[in-house]
Structure 1
């Protein structure tokens, strides 16, 4: 009922769980004065789960009433079960009360600080993710930013395929690299939105366009003797990418995880020397070694891993 109340996932799970009726409160203290006091010892945190039958009590309330406060009053009078959020949980960000630009900024900074690193390699973790975090507060203020980033991702991918068709390898690879960065930013931007769980069509489209563009470049850079081997190695590289995406989160080799941006960077460097095929070989070798080492570490016993770490 209260405006600006933003609970974390733990509180939301508690809210939709049992019992069906639950009034969220905090013990009375000076630091919680922005919350409404409901008795001598507790303040209401702006959230309550009630049975719809409570609405029948509104019949006996005078005409001049507000739904939220009236329902709260009937719940308190009926001794509705309460869930007291401890000071420790409040300090950990269980409830955020956003009432002003200052509190909104504090909430945003806290969310950015808590944003998980996930399965980031060194390029994402030390360069792209820190830079993106700085720009996210401004992007979140633009309602259409996510849509425009998705459009930019598809546009750069299509332009890259066109550039590859006209035999401009460096331009094509740079466009794909920029598109993948835009998709990375978009993925971080919607990380706390509900649509993050939906199918990522811009990302899937970029993957298809990147595969097409690089395949065109390989055909142009190959002769009759090297075309088939290059395409086989390229297919192997694509398989490595798919397997690396299914790896464990925060593994011991997380910083070395291969992804599209890292491989595009390798291909750009190789194309700069006019040897895009060598970049393909280096990328395939890198991804293959990564998968072998990752599988080897996964098969090792916990005791061996603990001894090495110790």
Structure 2
């Protein structure tokens, strides 16, 4: 059953009375934007952000979400809420400033009916709202249409989230208890300052990269681990993934110059660094729950690498190799490699590393022939190990 989501974006931060929790920077975007992407990933087909005032940061977040195909609307009063909330679908409720690991939100999104994510009443759960003597609400709830509209009919000027949660408790809603480790390690938290947001981001976003597309070849065994080490510091410094991706494309273009000037090893090194930056940009997008890029932007850096191989090889064999690598690269990025293992995938990065090694010993032509054989073997592995 489909469901919608309601996000609260009205409470101020501890940093400044003029700032909103929803506008705090989190995982390369505003906090409310990250919450919306979490709800959309869990299956919400419509997202409503309940605001007291529409700030530029919230408005820009709505624009970015809409550009990514996420249906989102701003709601300023109860009249609009009653009009906009679907009457035949559950509602996923996320508290103002709540950051919860995606696994918990997915669990609530997968089951119909009233349900609450709760935490045992301990020192770690003190920032959450108490719901009874032994537990506190951990910031996420699923509310049925009947309970939603029964509550809206009598809510007046009360706090929507807390009123719905208390109504759900009175109706005996199912409770999902968050482990204490999630609270202690920041995977379930209420954020009310930028410092807290920075601390929580690393713990929560680490789970989001599990959906990063798997690469093969050197991208899997070397570039991905390096990107994993570099992504957390870059996210704390609020470096946008788009800027990293543009830097990768620019560096790849620059790398073609030394190759054309017959300094191929220098060009190969720069192209490998460019592929690392492209892998890093993909990881930053995954941590922020953004959809992976598609089209020219996704393949710009690998294509530059293939152009570098052609320029270095200066032969029909190099052109043929580049075409085979292009096919492998598309299959690898789109997850169409069947049951082939990562080491069976001969990627552009793998080809560059092989050609760099053979170029060091002055046998670049032989390296091209070996690369061609490996590319053919890789395509054979993809075809022969396809799922039946």
Q: How does 1:48-197 map to 2 (within 5 A)?
A: 48-50=141-143, 51=145, 53=149, 54-59=151-156, 65-77=158-170, 79=171, 81-85=173-177, 87=179, 96-97=188-189, 99=191, 101=195, 105=199, 108-109=202-203, 111-112=205-206, 115-116=209-210, 119=214, 123-124=218-219, 127-197=222-292
Query: Which secondary structure state, in structure 2, belongs to the residue aligned with residue 83 of structure 1?
Result: strand
Q: 1:287 to 1:46 in 2, by over 3 A?
A: same
- For structure 1, the 5+ residue unaligned runs are 220-226, 300-310
**Could you tell me which of 349, 357, 375 is aligned with 1:269?**
357
Q: 1:18 to 1:240 in 2, by over 3 A?
A: closer
What CA RMSD, in Å, does the superposition of the two structures yield over aligned residues?
3.9
Counterpart-to-counterpart distance in 2, 1:113 and 1:9: 7
> Residue 308 of structure 1 corresponds to which residue in structure 2?
none
Structure number with greater Rg is: 1
Matched length: 286
> Residue 247 of structure 1 corresponds to which residue in structure 2?
337
Counterpart-to-counterpart distance in 2, 1:128 and 1:58: 53
What TM-score, normalized to structure 1? 0.72
Please say if residues 129 and 137 of structure 2, whose CA atoms lie closer than 8 Å, have aligned partners that are also in contact.
yes
**Could you tell me which of 232, 236, 240 is aligned with 2:320?**
232
Cα distance, 1:180 vs structure 2: 0.6
More helix as a share of residues: 1
Question: Which has the higher mean CA deviation after the structures are superposed, 97-106 or 192-201?
Answer: 97-106
Q: How does 1:191-210 map to 2 (within 5 A)?
A: 191-199=286-294, 201-210=296-305
Q: 1:126 to 1:22 in 2, by over 3 A?
A: same
Q: 1:172 to 1:107 in 2, by over 3 A?
A: closer
Deviations 1:259-309 (A, max 9, x none): 22221111222333444332221212223334545666679xxxxxxxxxx
Counterpart-to-counterpart distance in 2, 1:86 and 1:159: 50
Counterpart-to-counterpart distance in 1, 2:329 and 2:139: 46
Please say if residues 234 and 284 of structure 1, whose CA atoms lie closer than 8 Å, have aligned partners that are also in contact.
no
Q: 1:293 to 1:3 in 2, by over 3 A?
A: same
Q: How does 1:201-220 map to 2 (within 5 A)?
A: 201-219=296-314
Cα distance, 1:110 vs structure 2: 6.8
More strand as a share of residues: 2
Counterpart-to-counterpart distance in 1, 2:253 and 2:231: 26
Counterpart-to-counterpart distance in 2, 1:96 and 1:87: 9
Counterpart-to-counterpart distance in 1, 2:318 and 2:216: 26
Please say if residues 113 and 142 of structure 2, whose CA atoms lie closer than 8 Å, have aligned partners that are also in contact.
yes
> Residue 370 of structure 2 corresponds to which residue in structure 1?
282
